[in-house]
Amino acid sequence: MNRNLALARPDILKLQPYQHGAWDASVERMHTNEMPWPPHNDTSTWGLNHYPEPQPTQLIERFSSLYGVMTRQILVGRGSDEAIDLVVRAFCRAGTDKVIICPPTYGMYKVAAKIQGADVIEVPMICGNAFALDVSGILAAINDTVKILFLCSPNNPTGDSLAEQDLHALCSQLEGRALVVIDEAYIEFSHRDSFARFLSRYPNLIVLRTLSKAHALAGARCGTVLADAQIIHLLSGIIAPYAVPSPTVDIVMQTLCAERDLQEKIATVLYERAFLAEQLLKLPLIVRVWPSDSNFVLVECRDAQTVLHAAHSAGLIIRDQRSHSMLGQSVRISVGTPEQNRRLLAAIAAAKEVAA
């Protein structure tokens, strides 16, 4: 028994989940009120007139080998954003329970908590030559009502990976007291191995993976929760019925086999990221480029407005980060094609001349 399950909402632990129509592809379907014919122009394998398999076996098996975890440690859903929402809904009682986030970080943790009526405790990162977790600050903020610690590694928007020793310290200290969710949306761009290799050591660990970034499948909406089998079972009871559309299953199965193509594109992104960082630093409008383990760079500017405007006038949009109080005059730039990166650099270089 995973004792962290006791952290879940008591009503969710007792919930009788929705019963899907039985799943058996070997018999013909007269049990879920579908039409017996596919729609016009349907090219899908399974037939769009049919409800999809609730947790598609072939996808789960593919993810099991891709991520190196057991099939029962996987839940597939519509991107990491759905996963974040599921974890908060399963573990936080509205008006009572809380989550901890470590800003500057990804915005959805806070939004999902607020939607569920859970309070958010912020323990900001410590900012020196790089960003680091305030481990003792996090531990000091823990009490019986804190159910989830959200971490992101590599972190969005700072770009860098969190220190593994901190992740070990937090997972072991919080075992039985709170879940540690590590969002690895960008891990394919880093040289780190996924923290999911420690799932059996830390039953309170939840790792989120997505196909939206390195796998270039943001439009397919597909992501996974990797966790202890009992946590996966609990979450599978509250995910939307038939959550993964069958066209997504088809596309993912066809796309994920191209490992060589993936590695080539990642290598290009890493090369371009280094080039962007090096060239940006030569420009008078740029103060600093933070080290990145992702497919974007966080850039501190002398004047963010001028840089945002320069990008826009070159037909490019980059992300304003001035709403993060710690980041001051910063922007986040996603690594683009070589042509886009050079167009952006030229525009920022030219903007300096206008400002000077």
Ligand X SMILES: *Cc1c(COP(=O)(O)O)cnc(C)c1O
Q: Please report whether residue 77 would count as binding ligand X according to CB under 6 A.
A: no
Residue with tokens 């003792």, as numbered in its chain = 136
**Among residues 116, 153, 161, 212, the one that binds ligand X under rule CB under 6 A:** 212
- The answer to whether 190 contacts ligand X (rule: CB under 6 A) is no
Stretch of 5-13, 63-71, 75-83, 136-144 lying at the interface with ligand X (CB under 6 A): 75-83
Site for ligand X contains 152 (CB under 6 A)? yes
Contact with ligand X (CB under 6 A) among 79, 103, 159, 203:
79
Q: Give just the sign of the alpha carbon dihedral 112, 114, 117, 120.
A: positive
Q: At what angle do helices 338-355 and 304-313 cross, to 10 degrees?
A: 130
The amino acid at 181: V
Among 52, 55, 81, 151, binds ligand X (CB under 6 A): 81
For residues 117 and 95, give the distance between their C-alpha atoms in angstroms, rounded to a whole number.
6
**Cβ–Cβ < 8 Å for 58, 244:** no
Q: How far is the CB of 183 from ligand X (least distance, A)?
A: 5
> DSSP string spanning 22-64?
P--TTS---SS---SSPPTT---SS-TTSPPPSS-HHHHHHHH
25, 126, 218, 274: residue in contact with ligand X (rule CB under 6 A): 218
Considering the rule CB under 6 A, would residue 194 count as an interface residue with ligand X?
no
Interacting span for ligand X (CB under 6 A) from 50-58, 118-126, 210-218, 252-260: 210-218
Residue 63 makes contact with ligand X by CB under 6 A: no
CB of 29 to ligand X, least distance (A): 30
Q: Count of alpha carbons within 13 Å of 160, Cβ hemisphere only?
A: 18
272 binds ligand X (CB under 6 A): no
User: Do the Cβ atoms of 161 and 294 come closer than 8 Å?
Assistant: no
Where in 154-183 is the site for ligand X (CB under 6 A)? 156, 183
Q: What separation in angstroms does the CA of 184 have from each of 44, 181, 196, 247?
A: 31, 9, 10, 25
244 belongs to the binding site for ligand X (CB under 6 A): no
Residues that bind ligand X (CB under 6 A): 79-81, 106, 152, 156, 183, 185, 210, 212, 218, 223
